[in-house]
Structures are given as structure tokens and as C-alpha cells.
Amino acid sequence: MGLLAALLALGMSSAPGRRELRWFGACAALAALFNLSNVLVTVRVPLDTLLLASRVNLFFGGLHTSCWFKYTAAREQRRMTRLEQGIVAVGLVLSVASLVPGLVVENRLFERTVPWLGVTYADAPPTTFGEAAYAYHVAGLLFLLVHWMRRRASGDRETTAQLVALSAVFFAVIHDALASVGVIHNPYILDVALFVMVTAVGGSLTKSFVANARALEVSSRSLAVAQEQLVKRERLAALGELAAVVAHEVRNPLAVVFNATAGLRKTTASPKDRDALLAIVQEEAEHLRDIVTDLLEFARPRPPLLAEVALDEVVKVAIEAARNEAGAPASEVVLETAPADTLLTVCDERLVRQAVINLVANALHAPQRRSAVRVAVEGDAESLVIRVADDGQGIPPALRERVLTPFYTTRPSGTGLGLAVVRNSAEAHGGDVVVTGTEGGGATFTMRLPRKVVVPPSPESYR
């Protein structure tokens, strides 16, 4: 029972907040070893074997008392006091001393018969020094018993098992010490007391462990429900925010289109006015198309379709598309690339191209921009970097992380989704996007793509 309790305690000690079980496991193991070495006192074996068993028996008993001090401190999550350390140190010395022949127990056997039990005990009687050692261990047990009684009196209701265990061991040690010197003629009962100790404390700890496990299971279920509700609230909040942004962005172009079509219906409108109104309709229709495109790019991400590409060529195509969209001449964007043979990589060309288009278009529209947008493509053994910098008004440090979130924009005609799409594209490849300031003023967006793409799991996989 003691060895089984020790193994169970050692296994349960790995649980959070259960480190003290290691010391209870040591107490249980030493109790088992004490009982095993005590078996020989009623068995006919050679004299030397019985004398050795008597010394080993006292050795394990002393260690058991010392382990109780360690278990007490560990259970209370504190360090042992200097007094406790001194008691344990002396107890350990006496335990080791009990192994020395003739020091703690005599080199002879003392036999006594218990008629009503029909058993004859044969073990070595204690020396004068041994009697003092017995008294010391009894005093140590009494110290522990008083300590636990004080804890009980202070309101610690979980000390019943420890009090029962220590009381049983304390009184059994006194009883057996008197029996070993022939004062009383009773059988040894410390073996039974140690069994009570293991059963009481082990049962209490197991009950507490099971209760904690059940509480953890209930908490886990409650947490799962709370997380599910939080996800639903976040989805509803995002849907409401999306609806508000889309409604705001669509309402203005539609109002302009309605006004223009009303003007086109007038029969008095000149051809020149009609052309101007058609141009307005065309412009606002393109604006609506851009809103829908950004919304779909953000709201319906797909896993990257990986293929080997030359990153510098992808960036060149993206720059051309961004310039055409912004109506900017070729001189407005300056591209610097590393040697072409260092820029071969595996990525989703469409996602990367769209991200670069958004970054360059964002830089071309930077407020107070004074010179050309600078785009750099470089790489090392682990990753490739696309850097887009402008010398415009810049972005305050407090807003640099926020500009990458959905629906945040400072442009009157922006949807706030362009830079969020950039972040999604980078993260789809296992990379990231960082916003910093440009030397001399402006903003720099750095998009990092690892050469070995590790595709993050889709959100759908968590449902």
C-alpha cells in the first residue's frame, strides 16, 4: 500500500500546485520500507540478519520523520524555518548513526512472547544512546503534531487526515518504544499506524485531486462556452462594423451617380455636359468596384497557391498596376532590387502582387509626399523583404499598428481594407508586416516573406 501510494503521489505531483506530493510519496515509500524490514522480527532468521534488519528498520523510521517536516513545509508552500531545519539535520544524523553496529541498538537479540497473539518477537534492544535517539524522534513527531493542531485551530479544515496520521504514528512510536525495552508486553503496532498514515493522507489527497480535476473540467466547459459566446459577439461586432463601413462608402458614390443620371435625363444638357456627367458616373462606378474588390479580398481569404516565382518580376508588375491606378508617371516610383538569382522564392504570386499594389498605391497617395516612392526588394538565406517607403506626412507611432487593422483609414475615399489585405497576405505565407518611420519624414512598410513558407492553419479548422 505504501509503495503504491508513493507511485501515485509521484505521478500526481506533476499537476500544477501539487509539488508537495513528492514529499508525501517519500513518506509513503519510507513507511513501506520500514514495514518490510520489520517483517523479520517474527521470522526465524540468522542473528546477523536480524541485527541488520533492526538497524535498517530504525534508519527508515528516522528518515520517515524527517520527510514529514519537508512535506509539511511543501504543503504550506514555504521554506522550512531554521528550527525545523535543525530538527531535520539532527534527525538525519541519528538515522545514519542507527546503521552503525552497537551504537543505537545493541549487538544482541531481545526476545519477548505475546501469548494471546501466539507470536515471539526477536530484535535488538536500544542502547542508552538509542533510547535518547528514540526520545528525539518522538519529540520531532510531537512538534509536527502540535503544528498541525495549530493549523486546524486557525481554520484549516483540510488537516484532518494529517492529524489522524500523525496521532497514530506518534502514539504507536511511544507504544513500540516501551515494548522494545520490555516495559509493556504488547505486539508492535507502528506497522499498523503507518498503514493508517498512508491510507488517511493518501485518501485525502486523492479526494482533493479528484475534486480539483472535476472543478477543472467544469471550468474548462464554462471557458469553452464563454469563448464560443465571445467569438459570436466578435463576429456580430465585425459584421456590424463592416455593414456600417460598406453603407458609408457605397452611399456617397451612389448619390453622385444618381445626381449624374438625373442630369443626363435633362434634354437641355449639352454634349459637353453629358460627357462630363458620364465621366463622373464612370469614376464613381470604378470607386464602387474598388470597394467590392477590397471587401472580397479581405473577407474571403484563401490558402496560398504556392509556386516558384521571381519576386522582382512580381514587384515590377505590381508597381505598374499601382501607378496606372493612381495615374502616376513612371518617375514617381523608384525600384531597387537585389540580384535576380537571389530573389527566386516559393509564394502565391497573386497574393503578393495584390499586397505590393496596395502598399505602393498607399504610398503614392501619402499626404504631403515630396518625392518618388522608393521600393526595395532584398533577401537573405531565411527570408525575402519588400520595403515601400514614402516621404509624406508619416504615421504617428501610436497609430502604426492600427493602420494594419480592418476599416481604419485616413483617406476620404478609402475603405480601410487595403493594408489589412497586405497583412493577411503576409501572414498567409507565415510572414509579417512592420510599419516604421522613414528617415527625414514619411512612412516605411516592410513586408517579410520566409523562403520556407509555413502556412498558418485556416480559422475554419478551429470550428
> Could you read off the pLDDT of 418-448 as tens digits, one per residue?
788 888 888 888 888 898 888 888 889 999 9
**Are residues 162 and 248 both part of a single domain?**
no
Q: Is residue 239 part of a domain?
A: yes
Q: Please count the residues of the chain.
A: 463
Q: Is residue 63 part of a domain?
A: yes
Question: CA geometry: angle at 225 spanning 223 and 229, to 5°?
Answer: 115
Mean pLDDT of the region 304-332: 87
**Are residues 320 and 440 both part of a single domain?**
yes
Q: What interhelical angle do 311-326 and 349-364 show, nearest 10?
A: 40
What's the domain range around 36?
2-220
> 30 near 68, Cβ under 8 Å?
no
**Are residues 164 and 263 both part of a single domain?**
no
Q: Of 65, 25, 311, which is closest to residue 166 (Cα–Cα)?
A: 65
Mean pLDDT of the region 91-104: 93
| DSSP-derived secondary structure for 132-178 | HHHHHHHHHHHHHHHHHHHHHHTT-GGGHHHHHHHHHHHHHHHHHHH
CATH for 45: 1.20.1070
Cα separation, 216 vs 231, whole angstroms: 22
> 104 near 143, Cβ under 8 Å?
no
> Could you read off the pLDDT of 136-163 as tens digits, one per residue?
989 999 999 999 999 888 888 778 888 8
pLDDT above 90 as % of the chain: 17
**Are residues 442 and 349 both part of a single domain?**
yes
**Are residues 64 and 212 both part of a single domain?**
yes
Burial category of 346 from C-beta neighbours within 10 Å (exposed 0-12, middle 13-18, buried 19 and up): middle
**Are residues 265 and 314 both part of a single domain?**
no
Q: Is residue 173 part of a domain?
A: yes
CATH for 242: 1.10.287.130
**Are residues 39 and 77 both part of a single domain?**
yes
- Tell me the pLDDT band of 462, cut-offs 50, 70 and 90: very low
Mean pLDDT of the region 261-269: 74
Q: Is residue 445 part of a domain?
A: yes
> Could you read off the pLDDT of 324-353 as tens digits, one per residue?
877 888 889 999 988 878 888 888 888 898
| pLDDT recorded at residue 298 | 64
**Are residues 48 and 168 both part of a single domain?**
yes
> Could you read off the pLDDT of 46-77 as tens digits, one per residue?
888 888 988 998 899 899 999 999 999 988 88
| pLDDT recorded at residue 398 | 78
> Could you read off the pLDDT of 202-260 as tens digits, one per residue?
888 778 777 777 887 888 888 888 888 888 887 777 667 667 666 766 776 777 788 77
pTM exceeding the 0.75 threshold for the entire prediction: no
| pLDDT recorded at residue 90 | 94
Give the phi and the psi of residue 453 in degrees, each rounded to 5.
-75, 125
Q: Is residue 149 part of a domain?
A: yes
In this predicted structure, the answer to whether residue 269 has a pLDDT above a threshold of 70 is no
How many domains are there within the chain?
Answer: 3
**Are residues 147 and 173 both part of a single domain?**
yes
